[in-house]
Amino acid sequence: MICLDTNYLILGVTPGTRESSQLIAWAQAGEIMVAPAIVWYEFLCGPVTSAQIEVMRAFLREIVPFGEVEAKEGARLFNAVKRNRHLRVDAMIAGTAISLKCSLATNNHADFELFEADGLKLENR
């Protein structure tokens, strides 16, 4: 299972990008792809067309709610990076991936690699 970050959703609906090719390859290989609710929210904030939303939703098995388990994991990560406010949303996304025991596909390695010491696995490293 692969958890997708917002940049994978945005670039995934852009023909010819590495991300769109990767999503197609994962889908053809039978890989399960999910997105945290916070990522889906960021994607929907756009700009994005209804056709792009429909295409991206077809790739996703689930939009994962941000519940108690994810909140606890996200807060643990946020505190581990010394409460850096810039990383608050990233901690929520990483916490969701860790809670699901899956890797995170992102282009934002600079911020997310800070969570690797606390259990986050990054895809395409």
Helix (H/G/I), strand (E/B), else coil: 32: coil
Tens-digit pLDDT profile for residues 59-99: 999 999 999 999 999 999 999 998 888 899 999 999 999 99
Per CATH, the number for 2-118 is 3.40.50.1010
What percent of the chain has a predicted confidence (pLDDT) above 90? Answer: 92
- Does the pTM surpass 0.75? The reply is yes
Q: What does the mean pLDDT of the chain come to?
A: 95
Q: What residues form DSSP beta bridges with 36?
A: 64
Among residues 74, 54, 72, the alpha carbon closest in space to that of 3 is found at: 74
Helix (H/G/I), strand (E/B), else coil: 5: coil
Q: How many residues does the chain have?
A: 125
